[in-house]
Amino acid sequence: MATGLTKALGAIALKCTLVAGAAANADIAVTGIAVEDTIIGVIHLEGTATYAAPADRLSEASITSAGNIQLTTTNTTGDFLLLLWHDASL
């Protein structure tokens, strides 16, 4: 038997992926993301040898075209981004 939560979650499609970073205002390829989708979370994971706390980059993230996002101010070259988004097509 499905619970209310299961039924509610069944109506949405969340996707998650890890992508390589890029310079600020540069395209970052994200397979399957579309301009009508909604970014829910962007966590910046620094790719250095020393530990750095993950940073929330949602406020500067946008879908610029099918298959691409950009961050407006942060250079994430050499780092990674953990991206969570709602797929509006499902």
pLDDT computed for residue 13 by the predictor: 85
- Please state whether the predicted TM-score (pTM) of the whole model is above 0.85: no
Our count of domains for the chain comes to 1
Query: Domain residues for 80?
Result: 13-86
Three-class DSSP labels, the chain: CCCHHHHHHHCCCEEEEEEECCCCCCCEECCCCCCCCEEEEEEEECCCCCCCCCEECHHHEEEEECCEEEECCCCCCCCEEEEEEECCCC
Inside any domain, residue 35: yes
Residue 76 placed within a domain: yes
Tell me whether residue 4 is in a domain: no
Q: What is the pLDDT of residues 20-51, one digit of tens each?
A: 999 999 999 999 999 999 999 999 998 766 66
